[in-house]
Structure 1
Amino acid sequence: MTETLGAPEPFLTDGHGGIVIAADRRGEPTARAVVFLHGGGQTRRSWDRAAAAVAQRGWQSVTVDMRGHGESDWSPDGDYRVASFAADVREILAQLPPRPVLVGASLGGITAMLLAGELARGIASAVVLVDIVPDMDPTGAERIHAFMADKMVDGFASLDEVADMIAEYNPHRPKPTDLDGLRKNLRHKGGRWYWHWDPRFIDGTAPHPPMEVTDTDRLHAAVGRIVDDGVPVLLVRGQVSDLVSRDRAAAFLSRFPQIDFVDVDGAGHMVAGDRNDLFADAVLSFLTRREVAKP
């Protein structure tokens, strides 16, 4: 699908503790929203094509830079608890029509679990978890952490160097020939390129890290409350994911048989980026099938 709605409209929101959160809006502001929450180390730009496809179907698409990422403020006191991410998102949702759809990848998915299943039950009309379950594979999580930590301090000499590193990490994804898209996820400083997020989020120096990601009992309980409330949930797994194995997805679905499931062929952990066409169609089909109506 191609973008026909023009450039997204950027806006800013005061999040939890005065942190300024940056976001983009596509579509009619009075329409029910689909709110996209990226994974750790990403930015709202990772959702661009999927958000455009959803907006074309009559929804309002809102993509958010989580605190410490992209154009949102870095937390001055290193507060990167999942509860704080969720509190920021709640401030954004207060500006939107009631009961949006939450789409969260990895850290964004965990944020959606806690927000919709514990901190603000009933706030969402549907939840889409993108390649994340409470009981994620620790080996895959360590691999992602190592990828994010590598070059975090020294940065990159060129965008080609960034593209080579991404291609090594994601060998199933073709190396991009147009490197301009990488600029959206990087900062250029002193002649080098750096990831567009606060290093304290990864390097262990943040006084308040996102420890909730390891509390599987709490996260399972939150998901249980979401489904008990009758809120439709979809798990979208990348078929070659190293974070949500086939067995872990099966165990999650056995625990919560009410949850819909899509296995995206040819996609890894970065499902939306790997197979945007299949991902957007899966989300839109789910919303239609579960009768999550636009206002």
Structure 2
Amino acid sequence: MLLLPGFGQTAAAWARASKALVAAGRYVVTVELRGHGESDWSPNRRYELGDIIQDIVAVIQQLPSKPAVVGANLGGLAALAAISESPEPLASALVLIDAAPRMAPAGLDRMASLMTMDADGFSTVADAGRVVAEHLPAKQQLDLEEVKRHLRRCDDGRFRWHIDPAYQGFKVDASDRKAAQRRFTAAALALDIPTFFVRGESSTKVDRESMHEFRELVPHAEFADIPGMGDAIIGGRNDAFDAAIIGFLERAIPRSKLRPQGGVEPRMLRDAMGCFATGVTVITTSDPDGTPMGFTANSFTSVSLDPPLVLFCVKRESASVEALRKRGAFAVNVLHIGQQAISGKFASRIEDRFAATEWELWEYQVPIILDAIANFECSIREIVDGGDHVIVLGLVKRVHYDPVRDPLLFFQGKYRRIHVAREESEK
């Protein structure tokens, strides 16, 4: 994969997204655009669109295979032209981020304004951040560390954008914009590889009209709006953005299938089971004296709605098994993304796992962990053999849940987090 940053950005903008792509099994190459970041500044000030397009062609031709190219605004549009205008196939797929042949003039002017505000430099990164914040949608949070990555400290001690001051691409006049638009439109019409068009839902550069025109130019393209994001969506901590890109790649250019592994050796079986993503729960009960007991588990599932049955599994040698038999009841506490510490505590060997954990008792006198995303109080219907575990089947007696929480997940032996976008109508 070849990742191309946008105008004013550096390759550092891809730091988080590239890690997600590598974790998904992709080989990732990132580069700086001409005059940006750590790339050399052109001694003869050659920063025309054609120069940037030629640079991209030169980079792709050095790669061992046709890459999937992902480009943000300027990087994406230059890649679009490079791929479509080449007489030889250059890429296996193209992802365009906030990049359409016809960009909204107001958004481009706003970007030009932002990139020309540093003529005198900024005294601090925070000063630059305040300027950037004015160009973000109200609900998008500013990441000062991300702003810092795109600044350089000059000899006078002040901060300026990490771009050659001679670069004039953001100051093009109306005629230059129209010429570029015609070139990109022709390139889009000629595009014949899998294409994914991604924009922040609050983008000022790519409006609905821009998207409609692109749909007509590239009818085979897929589209995605990233909720809560504006013009800068690749630098943020955005799981939705990463998931959208990875999902497209899995559909368009799936990785080579691995041959199935033989046998069911415990380590192999554990790793294979780890490919099934689950939520994280704490199962609680109490011994006959009322002492609370609990442990972390992800082997929880719904069995039936009528009657309401659930089950979980626990190791046969666990001290909780005897307490469960005697108490005849348990609670399932489903954790949210802010409760990883609770999961870790109840998965450890410390004696008082309930210390500093808020809980209460309901009818069956088993601990109910407060502030969980969901709680199920259950009476035990049956405990059956499950090899080196026992399977506990419970009848749900009482439920509490908080639908606006985001779940804590467990996948391949690690905690994961995901933000669930909720439509206004669901609130």
Tell me which interval the TM-score lies in, with the shorter structure as reference length. Answer: 0.7 to 0.9
Please report how far the alpha carbon of residue 180 of structure 1 lies from its aligned counterpart in structure 2 after TM superposition.
4.3
1:188: which partner in 2? 153
2:77: which partner in 1? 110
Over alpha carbons, which structure has the higher Rg? 2
CA distance in 2, matches of 1:203, 1:220: 19
Q: Which has the higher strand share?
A: 2
1:218: which partner in 2? 183
After TM superposition, the structure 1 = structure 2 runs for residues 185-264 of structure 1, keeping only pairs within 5 Å, are 185-189=150-154, 190-202=156-168, 211=176, 214-227=179-192, 231-264=193-226
Distance verdict in 2 for CA 1:164–1:294, change over 3 Å: farther
2:135: which partner in 1? 169
1:43-63 CA-partner distances (Å, limit 9, x unpaired): 111111111110111111111
1:68: which partner in 2? 35
Please report how far the alpha carbon of residue 74 of structure 1 lies from its aligned counterpart in structure 2 after TM superposition.
0.9
Please report how far the alpha carbon of residue 213 of structure 1 lies from its aligned counterpart in structure 2 after TM superposition.
7.4
User: TM-score by structure 2 length?
Assistant: 0.56
State which drifts further: 136-145 or 74-83.
74-83
Aligned match of 2:229 in 264, 267, 274? 267
The answer on 1:281 being equivalent to 2:243 is yes
Amino acid at match of 1:41: G
Distance verdict in 2 for CA 1:120–1:141, change over 3 Å: farther
CA distance in 2, matches of 1:265, 1:60: 27
Aligned match of 1:157 in 107, 123, 127? 123
Contact 2:4/2:33 (CA < 8 Å) preserved in 1?
yes
State which drifts further: 246-255 or 50-59.
246-255
The answer on 1:83 being equivalent to 2:83 is no
CA distance in 2, matches of 1:294, 1:66: 31
Please report how far the alpha carbon of residue 274 of structure 1 lies from its aligned counterpart in structure 2 after TM superposition.
4.2
Distance verdict in 2 for CA 1:204–1:241, change over 3 Å: closer
Contact 1:43/1:66 (CA < 8 Å) preserved in 2?
yes
CA distance in 2, matches of 1:195, 1:38: 14
Q: Which has the higher helix share?
A: 1
After TM superposition, the structure 1 = structure 2 runs for residues 125-136 of structure 1, keeping only pairs within 5 Å, are 125-136=92-103
Please report how far the alpha carbon of residue 104 of structure 1 lies from its aligned counterpart in structure 2 after TM superposition.
0.7
**Aligned Cα root-mean-square deviation (Å):** 2.3
Amino acid at match of 1:239: E
User: TM-score by structure 1 length?
Assistant: 0.79
CA distance in 1, matches of 2:31, 2:231: 19
Amino acid at match of 2:49: V
Please report how far the alpha carbon of residue 112 of structure 1 lies from its aligned counterpart in structure 2 after TM superposition.
0.7
* Contiguous gaps of at least 5 residues in structure 2: 258-427
Amino acid at match of 2:181: T
* Count of paired positions: 253
Distance verdict in 2 for CA 1:121–1:138, change over 3 Å: farther
Amino acid at match of 1:186: L
Contact 1:234/1:286 (CA < 8 Å) preserved in 2?
yes
Could you tell me the percent identity over the aligned residues? 35
1:217-244 CA-partner distances (Å, limit 9, x unpaired): 22111122222xxx10110011111111
2:4: which partner in 1? 37
1:33-76 CA-partner distances (Å, limit 9, x unpaired): x1111111111111111111101111111111111000001111
Contact 1:114/1:222 (CA < 8 Å) preserved in 2?
yes
Please report how far the alpha carbon of residue 294 of structure 1 lies from its aligned counterpart in structure 2 after TM superposition.
5.4
* Contiguous gaps of at least 5 residues in structure 1: 1-33
Please report how far the alpha carbon of residue 123 of structure 1 lies from its aligned counterpart in structure 2 after TM superposition.
0.4
Please report how far the alpha carbon of residue 292 of structure 1 lies from its aligned counterpart in structure 2 after TM superposition.
4.5
1:16: which partner in 2? none
CA distance in 2, matches of 1:77, 1:275: 38
CA distance in 2, matches of 1:232, 1:213: 26
